[in-house]
Amino acid sequence: MAAILEGNRLTLTGDVGDFGWGDYFTHGDVVLALAQIDDEDDLVVFINSGGGIATEGAAIFALLGRRSGTTDVTVDGIAASAASLIAMAGDTITMSVGSTMMVHDPSGITNGNSAEHSKTIEGLEALATAFARAYASKTGKTVEECREIMKEERWFTAEEAVAEGFADAVGQQKAKPVAAFAYHQVYAHAPKKLVAMAKAKDWRRPSASAPAASAAQPSQPKETTMTDKERADQLAAELAELKALMKSNQDADAAADMQQELETLRAEKQARETADAIMALEEAQGREEQAKALADAGISVEKAKAIMAATPKADAGVLEQRRLNGEGLNGKGGSQPSAKGDKSVLAAAVARTNKRR
């Protein structure tokens, strides 16, 4: 994952979406990162990406665009293709000195008959129109003008991006080296400098038949086995979200759903941290089963520590012995303490703790 949050600075580097190799960030990565800050907080997003999956970029654009707080974007190195769309979510967009931005039409691959290819064309046209609306909203150009720019696959220097309205200013900081990407393989009109760099550094998409690539692509088979209906439904959902964002009156229900999603992620994160803290306690040594039971019960770290401190390790060992018996590791002659006996041990420990309190 290359979506890193430090304070109010979110850095997105590598491919947009998981191709199964190299650095990348996904919509899910950004959701988890944003769950660590309040929705009303100001945020600065640094982007250095050669592009990736169009629909993944659309989902991230919509996610950042829904924030209540101010979101400022800085292009560090490059924001191409799907990454340039993500940049449009910024209330302000700053190009680092020497950085690059590229906009073009989304593309895709279809396996199947003419009807299936027609569905892909229809979906790509709808997605391209949604992208053009986002670019038009930022630049002040018409949707048709933006579509023409996209069809040409336009590469902008920092100054050109500002002049064309795709960015607001050129910053003082020098751009970082561009993110690794197969510019010479993927894009038709990539600048000669990027093509030469990609060739010199051997940035390329591994062959699908290469063993290393096959082993590193856990998510790709899932994509290729999706049915036509599933692909269409996914695309329709993402397009609907993107179009909704472009409306002046944003959907209050969508905002509420987003807030609920963030609250759920925060709660899950807190539960994991509490469980880890309980298992790391000195009192948990030799009482691992008891520590796990307390963590699963949602007990606080302080109370779990007190309970385990009040429980002799011999008592805690009964729980471990029962686990071994249940797995048949103690043999037929092993002791078989009952569940009732186990509960009484834990209950006695809680009672002793409460009494001390």
* Per-residue pLDDT reduced to its tens digit, 11-67: 999 999 987 777 899 999 999 999 999 999 999 999 999 999 999 999 999 999 999
**All domains in the chain, ordered by first residue:** 3-250 (3.90.226.10), 261-356 (no CATH)
44 pairs with which residues across the strands? 9, 72
* Per-residue pLDDT reduced to its tens digit, 99-117: 999 999 988 778 888 888 8
Q: Is the model more confident about 274 or about 315?
A: 274
Q: What is the pLDDT of residue 122?
A: 87
Structure confidence at residue 211 as a pLDDT band (50, 70, 90): very low
Q: What is the pLDDT of residue 94?
A: 98
Q: What is the pLDDT of residue 209?
A: 36
CA–CA gap between residue 313 and residue 285 (Å, rounded): 9
* Per-residue pLDDT reduced to its tens digit, 218-259: 333 333 344 555 555 555 565 565 555 555 444 555 555 555
- Inter-residue contact 159 to 101 (CB < 8 Å): no
Mean pLDDT value across residues 134-160: 96
Q: What is the pLDDT of residue 264?
A: 67
CA–CA gap between residue 327 and residue 341 (Å, rounded): 18
Structure confidence at residue 149 as a pLDDT band (50, 70, 90): very high
Q: Furthest-apart CA pair in the chain: how many Å?
A: 83
Q: Got the DSSP string for 250-280?
A: --HHHHHHHHHHHHHHHHHHHHHHHHHHHHT
DSSP 3-state assignment of 70? coil
Q: What is the pLDDT of residue 253?
A: 53
Average pLDDT along the chain = 78
Q: Beta strand 3-6 with 9-13: parallel, antiparallel or unpaired?
A: antiparallel
* Per-residue pLDDT reduced to its tens digit, 156-201: 999 999 999 999 999 999 988 888 888 988 898 988 888 888 888 8
Which pTM was predicted?
Answer: 0.59
Q: Is the model more confident about 93 or about 119?
A: 93
CA–CA gap between residue 186 and residue 81 (Å, rounded): 11
Q: How far is CA 62 from CA 15, 57, 139, 254, in A?
A: 18, 9, 18, 11
